[in-house]
Amino acid sequence: MSKVAVIGTGSWGTAMAGLVAPKATEVVLWGRSDDVVEGINGTHHNPVHLPGYELPANVRATRSMEEAARDADHVILATPSAYLRATSHDLAPYLDSSVPVLVLSKGMELGTHYLMHQVASCELGHEERVCALSGPNHAEEVCLGKVSAAVVASQSEGCAEDFQRLVVCPTFRAYVSQDVCGVETCGAVKNVVAIACGVGTGLDCGDNTLAVLMTRGLAEIGRVVASLGGDPMTCMGLAGMGDLVVTCTSRHSRNRTFGEAFSHGESLEAFEARTRMVVEGARACRSVRELADERGIEVPLTRAVHGILYEGVSIADAMASMLGRSPHEEFYGMGRRDG
């Protein structure tokens, strides 16, 4: 007998519930919405996210955090980054200290600059049992069984391997890493780059420009990773280059899609209300810019995105600011150092 609790009924939580269902006796999805919970239990479809996807028969939903967590062998956190701390706080009283936790959220907490596994660990305790999953895997394709891959990262090799066994299947490749800092930093900053690529797409800047944004964005991610003590080589893998490419180019990417909509005049608030999805890159750019100010990290793309979203900078002025910079060596600022 085995039970997996998936906390969050968004697209990724829904797809993950289906992905792990063959390895579990029971999968319990926790959600806040009565309509979503009733829809899953009544029809095996999430009526809001991935509505065309039929969940396996051993998946059910509940609004009770205690019911979801009770006797769970594994817990998967699939909430937006802005809600992860509060959700983890609510979960803590019901979760035994030995239960391993996998964090799917991508971001960096404003003020603390904590990565998502650190945020969860603050509330749940026992950081060694907390893992993070990241990679080029849109829920819309994972649920259809299209080939995808991800990295499971944790300071505990055993914990990472435990979740690797849970999620791996012929169409979902899972690798392990102990560079949890690098993996999570890639997952946070790539969403900012994707917004910039969406803006470029909306303005019909061309393929050359998008390639420049992605590769210079990758270098920017590497500088942030190095400053936080992660391994810049992680940026070349699934959590870095892999996730960056799919997030900057896919029609499923909410960050890229938002950037395109923003270039046509739609605000962040209007976009999120229309799509009922959170644009993680819009939050991450605030945290990353704040971190960069404190540590002296050069993040021109992040500053440009922050400027157009929060400072009233025009897109034309933001582009002019980036193009006015003097080019450095291509991979400056990536020397690994403690911090």
Contact (Cβ atoms closer than 8 angstroms) between residue 29 and residue 14: yes
DSSP structure string for 148-168: EEEEEE-S-HHHHHHHHHHH-
Whether 190 is catalytic = yes
Cα–Cα distance for residue pair 9/5, rounded to 1 Å = 11
Contact (Cβ atoms closer than 8 angstroms) between residue 283 and residue 81: yes
Helix-strand-coil percent breakdown of the chain, rounded to 5? 55, 10, 35
Contact (Cβ atoms closer than 8 angstroms) between residue 14 and residue 2: no
Active-site residue identified among 3, 23, 106, 190: 190
Cα–Cα distance for residue pair 236/34, rounded to 1 Å = 42
- Residue 195, amino acid: I
Looking at residue 138, the DSSP 8-state letter turns out to be -
Active site residues: 190
